[in-house]
């Protein structure tokens, strides 16, 4: 299996997916080993468990950011956010009030 080149948008998404997946697996294994080592110390096990949950939350957020294509345009008229997660796309335009 070969990953596409970094010169295309889909290639960058594939490389980002691989990096997030590799980091997620590594940090989950690291958290599991550390929690196993401190399993008898309740205080440390609790806080390390909370840290592991924060790592998992960060990884899931990264995956969500990869899977949803968004475009944000900022101009003099306001901010336009386009979400291409649906077929026809939803556009939200925020216009600033005229002075």
> Could you tell me the pTM of the whole model?
0.58
Q: What is the pLDDT of residues 53-86, one digit of tens each?
A: 898 888 888 888 777 777 778 888 888 777 665 5
What average pLDDT score do residues 29-49 get?
88
What whole-number distance in Å separates Cα of residue 22 and Cα of residue 28?
Answer: 10
Give the count of beta carbons closer than 10 Å to the beta carbon of residue 61.
Answer: 11
Quote the pLDDT of residue 86. 52
Quote the pLDDT of residue 2. 72
Residues forming a β-bridge with 78? 75, 95
Q: What is the pLDDT of residues 13-37, one digit of tens each?
A: 888 888 888 988 988 888 888 888 8
What whole-number distance in Å separates Cα of residue 54 and Cα of residue 89?
Answer: 31
């Amino acid at each position: 299996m070969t990953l596409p080149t970094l010169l295309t948008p889909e290639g960058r998404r594939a490389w980002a997916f691989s990096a997030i997946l590799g980091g997620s697996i590594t940090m989950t294994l690291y958290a599991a080993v550390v929690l196993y080592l401190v399993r008898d110390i309740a205080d440390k096990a609790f806080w390390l468990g909370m840290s592991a949950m924060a790592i998992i939350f960060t990884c899931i957020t990264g995956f969500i950011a990869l899977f949803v294509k968004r475009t944000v345009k900022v101009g003099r008229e306001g901010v336009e956010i386009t979400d291409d997660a649906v077929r026809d796309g939803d556009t939200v335009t925020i216009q600033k009030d005229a002075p």
